[in-house]
Structure 1
Amino acid sequence: MTEKDGTGLDAGRLQAPLARLLRPLVRLAIRSGLTFPALVDLLRELYVNVAENDFALTSKSQTDSRVSLLTGIHRKEVSRLRGAGAPVNVVPVSISRTSRILARWLADSDFSDGAGRPRPLPRTGSDLEPTFDRLVESVTRDVRPRVVLDEWLDRGLVTRDADDRIVLAEQAFIPKSGSDQQLYYLGRNLHDHIAAAVANVEGDRPRFLERAVHYDGLTQPIAEMLEKRSREIAMEALTTANREAHTATEGISDGGWRWNFGVYVYSERVGGDNDETADRNDREGTT
């Protein structure tokens, strides 16, 4: 990569952060049986697709030769791969439906209390009463509420209380480990986080908020306490953002933009629990 747009970016400086970024994905690929040759094939197709679409010149049509020059991929391979397309960002219907129903349950004052806690809902009732059926029908009429309820009971998203009301088990959609739903959000959330960071690196000034609070040299009890507390803070922020987004989008049928607000928490053991030799300035900060 040559320097561009005054950022001073070049391939040599990019390799170290890229290697750190890719390491957990490579570990996941190996664990999942995705071999290096298969990953190379995917990267080759993505290189061609991105060069073809994101680096096209406004005054000229994109050519095989220029895509080959940008990517380092042989022109014959470029010719074969051009137009093949990259993986399409389509939300599976079941995931979209579940997310929208949960979001309304947590944000709509008919179905949640003033603190953003989801109300236990009877399955059926009058038209004016907040019920599970009314919740589902306010989002979609393509599937019967009873079908949604049976699916959610089976997946453990909801339970029944002593009064036979439907109770939300979690205040977020947490897919099962390794499920198609979890893999979808792996791609979606990591894409948006990385896209925000890349946009900030490429631009003249940071466009997106992409910050973190980080402390090193912690004991295990402190790390566990901070992880627990940060989860609580994160859920408060997500619940607030969901309620405000729900209010702002009421009555909007279709627009050309999307928005994503995400939070991540991570901790790991990297050294001795009682190592107090590190300089304090190297052990804490915000980025």
Structure 2
Amino acid sequence: MLDQVSWTQAACSRVLRPVVRLALTMGLKYSHLDTLLRELLLDEARRLWLATGISKPNISQLAMTTGLNRKDVTARIREVDAPSHPSALSPAAGVFTAWLQLATESPGKNRLPINAAAQGTSFETLARQASRGNVHHRAVLDELIRLGMVAEEGGWVELAADGFVPAGDLQSMLALLGDNTRDHLQAAVSNTLGEQPRMLERAVYADGLTQEECERIHQLARQRWDTLHHELVQEMTAALERSGPGGNQRIKIGIYTLHEEAKEAGFDSPVKSPPAKEEKSP
């Protein structure tokens, strides 16, 4: 049991280090993180008890599971669970993804007239289809321009990015970070705890490389992801149609690349290793 605690503590330390870096860089203090952690402990403890069939865990049960004292639990407990689901896909993200897919399938469609014409595709018709008519196309366009995703000129609009990464909007970038990292960790934790079904979770790495070699491999991953991304969008679009209104499941497939000095990763010096070392879940 002591080994399990120490192993888990070491894993949590590595997972939380980038979170602490983000928090300190953005001005959060210990008090902010302390409050956040206590609330998360209570939320997750309630879910653990609910999974055992107990509809409403009491103060003693929550205190025992979290290690918080009864007074603290009583002061913080809430009737409604905090939402753990990801942020909904924004209309701007949905329209941008649909347009990117269109431009891949039909070269030249990276530039469109804004308003619907008698023939051909326009941004207006694309936005109406992608958002199912729920949002006016001008509002979507203004948001994409604000985020630097598209450029407008003379009644036409053109793609200005190859992926929905709103680098000019800190709030949107933080929301994406929270959603994507949460889902990645959720898959990893689910696999570690032996939950079913087993989720795809793979990584391949090499160390002892130059920065130039790392960047070359980085660009290769970007190119391959572009192809896979478009295939997945096609599959998911078709799957939505087949699922109809009864579908209640969601799926996310992502990719990441990181290259840094070995010391940044916690090693004293670069360690030469085989160039195709793979980390994977069972």
Asked if residue 229 in structure 1 is aligned to residue 220 in structure 2, the reply is yes
Question: For the residues of structure 1 that align with 2:108 and 2:227, how far apart are their CA atoms?
Answer: 11
Q: Which residue number in structure 2 is paired with residue 6 of structure 1?
A: none
- For 1:220-245, what per-residue CA distance to the aligned partner results, in whole angstroms no more than 9, with x for missing partners? 21111111211212222222211211
Is the aligned partner of 1:40 residue 2:65? no
CA distance in 2: counterparts of 1:12 and 1:38, whole angstroms = 25
Higher relative contact order (CA 8 A, sep 6+): 1
Find 2:87's aligned residue among 80, 84, 91: 91
Aligned counterpart for 2:148 among listed residues 156, 159, 171: 156
Structure 2 unpaired stretches of 5+: 264-268
In terms of fraction of residues, the more helix-rich structure is 2
| AA of the residue aligned to 1:217 | G
Q: Report the counterpart of residue 251 of structure 2 in structure 1.
A: 259
Decide which of 8, 12, 16 is 2:10's aligned counterpart. 16
Flag the 1:154–1:61 CA change in 2: closer, same or farther, 3 A. closer
Cα distance 1:64–1:135, how it changes in 2: closer, same or farther (>3 A)?
same
1:120 equivalenced with 2:115 (yes/no): no
Pairs within 5 Å for 1:5-154? 10-56=4-50, 57-58=52-53, 61-83=56-78, 85-87=81-83, 89=85, 91=87, 96-107=90-101, 111-114=102-105, 118-126=109-117, 128-138=119-129, 139-154=131-146
Indicate conservation of the 8 Å contact 1:104/1:246, yes or no: no
Q: TM-score, normalised by structure 2?
A: 0.84
Distance change (3 Å), C-alpha of 1:114 and 1:126: same
How far the C-alpha of 1:38 sits from its partner, in A, is 1.4
Which of the residues 190, 196, 202 maps onto 1:199? 190
Per the normalisation by structure 1, the TM-score is 0.83
Q: Percent identity?
A: 29
- 2: distance between equivalents of 1:130 and 1:53? 48
1:124/1:285 Cα in 2 relative to 1: closer, same or farther (>3 Å)? same
> After superposition, what is the alpha-carbon deviation per residue over 1:185-220, rounded to whole angstroms, capped at 9, x for unaligned?
111000000000000000067700111010001012
Distance in 2 between residues matched to 1:169 and 1:147, nearest whole Å: 18
Change (3 A) 1:214 1:206: farther
- Report the counterpart of residue 273 of structure 2 in structure 1: 280
Counterparts in 2 of 1:189 and 1:155: CA distance versus 1, 3 Å = closer
Given residue 82 of structure 2, which amino acid in structure 1 is its aligned partner? Answer: A
1:55-84 Cα distance to aligned partner (Å, 9 max, x none): 333157412111111110011211222225
Q: Deviations over 1:243-286 (max 9, x none)?
A: 21112213734632111111111100226xxxx994534x6401
Counterpart for residue 268 of structure 1 = 260
Which of the residues 208, 215, 219 maps onto 1:217?
208
Q: Give CA deviations for 1:10-54 in whole Å, capped at 9, x if unaligned.
A: 221111121111111101111111111210111001101110123
- The CA RMSD over aligned residues, in Å, is 2.8
Shift of 1:144: 2.5
Query: Within 5 A, what are the aligned runs for 1:170-185?
Result: 170-176=161-167, 179-185=170-176
> How many residues matched?
270
Aligned residue for 2:103, secondary structure, equals: coil
Amino acid across the alignment from 1:224: E
SS of 2:262 mapped into structure 1? coil
1:210 corresponds to which letter in structure 2?
E
Task: Choose from 225, 241, 244 the match for 2:235.
Answer: 244
Give SS of 1:257's match: coil
Go from structure 1 to structure 2 and tell me whether the alpha carbon gap of 1:33 and 1:160 turns closer, same or farther (over 3 Å shift): closer
